Structure 1
Amino acid sequence: MANPPGWIDEVFEGVRYGLAGRVIAEQASPFQTVTIIESERYGKGLLLDGCWMTAERQERHYHECLVHPALCSAAAVERVLVIGGGDGGTARECLRHPGVRHLDMVEIDGLVVEWSQQHLPTIGGGCWSDPRFHLTVGDGIAWAANAPDASYDVVIVDGSDPAGPAEGLFNRAFFEHCRRLLRPGGVFATQSESPEAFREVHLAMVRLLREVFGHADPMYGWVPMYPSGWWSWTFAAPDGRRYLEPDSVRAAVVADGCEIWSPRWQRGAFEAVPAAIERDLNR
């Protein structure tokens, strides 16, 4: 039976980030507690271990910004790997690019996929039935370690915060495997936390990606339901900062269907580095 209306909160370091609504489903998987809520403001949403992941009327703030800078700048986009992303939003945005011929998505928690399909079908949209889409319910870290060299044009990490099942997505060994998987001209993308709520994690990620790939830059935007509302995505490539400028032809195919991302928005987001963050990253 659904809980009565009230407030659903994520509590992080003395601050509550909440939505008015109610829990409509909750269950412990082998990895984490999965919660589906129905909110007054943002529609149905997903929490993992009490942390906000996505909601129907917030998800574009996140998924468009993670996907399009990478897929509009890699030399090719025929083969894409998404690690995590069990709600389907990242895969959906990737598959809007007609150049994608094969997309592997590796999500560790089958319950996240099942409930996203059941309760949040608009987020994944048509990705689940797209013949280019190939889902593996399993360990994305092991997948990256075992996949052949130069097997993907784009690698995207759509993981939760660096704890629990996502903890291994934030270390040198994993990033080195992701670099190994890239074809020449490839691009790596990851969510890289809030520069306010997770400042030290964010700085450490960007520094480490620069060491591993040679070139990496954070891009700043907003996801109002997340801690602080201020978020980041970091892009990396071995052959230069190709992710800074989207290909105009590829961008034109997807831009009209976007709510947040555009080439202009992207250029501004890469430039919106706060002074203190820039100083810390350049030390």
Structure 2
Amino acid sequence: MNNQLNTTLEWLDEYHQGVRYGLLGKLILEESSTFQKITIFESKRYGKALLLDDCWMTAEKSEKYYHECLIHPALCSSNQIDNILIIGGGDGGSAKECLKYKEVKSIDLVEIDIKVIELSKKYLPTIGGNAWSDSRLHLQIKNGIDWVKHIKENSYDVIIIDGADPVGPAKGLFSNSFLKDCQRILKPGGVLATQSESPESFQEIHINIVKVLREIFDYADPMYGSVSIYPSGLWSWTFASMEKPKYMYPKKSRVEEISKNCQIWSQRWQQGAFNTIPAFIEREFAKT
């Protein structure tokens, strides 16, 4: 299905547990891929936005609040950042943030749905920016769960899980077996980063993600921030590593290199974001 609509402004909402999260604007197109419904919407406030299966994924003027917070705690702290794996991330935002680092030599971006990439490149070009033409970026149109199963151990310095909510094509990205494979293919001194849902709107899922990561990795900690177009606006990212919590200790040289190119992330912001864990969530973790 492909609908080209008129210029009449309308509200487009994501519905979640009796609450609506919407933007005012106009529908640009709506298509169904092999895996999901893909919608491009142009809003007055945040510019063009992407929805998958009627859930907000990203928007031109708010993507920094998500992508910078997912990427920089991991890349600033990992021992090395030569080889990066991104699972999902078909809008290009995570790849763009990774490619800001001169040290990065290669990124495998494993996206199951090529239509997400094609439509993002066409309608949301500022989100991926120059990442799509950077020779360090290698697109793999494959299932990320299958990809990590067949990669040899100690292959990647950093693993980024930039998936949608754990339904549909992204359903297995928070499973014990998938995350165990991620730990196996992560190099010593490396860091895993994943979006980990809202502690308010997806409380049970959020808690489970962190607990599973703590079972597999020596250390895993959530970080909290704001992404205004997502359910509740309160969002989280969780970082994991072996031997010590590497993600807590950004390298000074990388911080200096990257900070000037960030609108949201800074070392100070990161420190505060790790410390803003809601009390009721902290009590849940203390039960284990």
TM-score normalised to structure 1 length: 0.99
| Counterpart residue number, 1:180 | 184
Partner of 2:86: 82
Please state how far the C-alpha of 1:114 moved relative to its aligned partner. 0.1
* Contact map agreement 1:245 1:263 (CA 8 A) in 2: no
Matched, 1:2 2:5: yes
- Give the secondary-structure state (helix, strand or coil) at the position aligned to 1:183: strand
Cα RMSD for the two superposed structures: 0.6
Q: Note the alpha carbon deviations across 1:60-110, whole angstroms, 9 max, x for none.
A: 000000000000000000000000000000000000011100000000001
Distance 1:62 1:186 in 2: 21
Deviation at 1:245, TM superposition (A): 2.0
Q: Are the counterparts in 2 of residues 63 and 90 from structure 1 also a CA contact under 8 Å?
A: yes
Q: Which letter does structure 2 place at the counterpart of 1:7?
A: W
1:281 is the counterpart of 2:259: no
- Identical pairs, percent: 55
Please give the alpha-carbon distance, in whole angstroms, between the structure 2 residues aligned to 1:204 and 1:193.
10
Q: Residue 157 of structure 1 aligns to a residue in which SS?
A: strand
Q: Does structure 1 residue 191 correspond to structure 2 residue 195?
A: yes
Q: Give the alignment of 1:168-247 within 5 angstroms.
A: 168-247=172-251
Structure 2 Cα separation of the partners of residues 275 and 47 of structure 1? 31
- Say if 2:170 is the partner of 1:166: yes
Distance of 2:252 and 2:58 partners within structure 1: 29
Give the SS at the match of 1:166: helix
Cα separation, 2, equivalents of 1:245 and 1:52: 32
Moved more, 244-253 or 28-37: 244-253
What is the number of residues matched between the two proteins? 283
Query: Following the alignment from structure 2 to structure 1, what is the Cα–Cα distance between the partners of residues 271 and 227?
Result: 18
Give the structure 1 partner of residue 255 of structure 2. 251
The structure 2 residue matched to 1:141, chosen from 115, 139, 145, is 145
Residues in 2 aligned to 1:148 and 1:127: alpha-carbon distance in whole angstroms: 26
Unaligned runs of 5+ in 2: none
* Structure 1 residue 182 displacement after superposition: 0.7
How many angstroms does 1:138 deviate by?
1.1
Moved more, 77-86 or 236-245: 236-245
Return structure 1 stretches of 4+ with deviation > 4 angstroms. Answer: none
Q: Contact 1:61/1:222 (CA < 8 Å) preserved in 2?
A: yes
Query: Could you tell me which residue of structure 2 aligns to residue 157 of structure 1?
Result: 161
Give the equivalent residue in structure 2 for 1:114: 118
Residue 262 of structure 1 pairs with residue 266 of structure 2: yes
- Match among 54, 59, 62 for residue 63 of structure 2: 59
Unaligned 5+ segments in structure 1 are: none
Distance 1:183 1:234 in 2: 18
Deviation, structure 1 residue 5 = 1.4
Paired residue secondary structure (2:21)? strand
| Residues in 2 aligned to 1:238 and 1:23: alpha-carbon distance in whole angstroms | 45
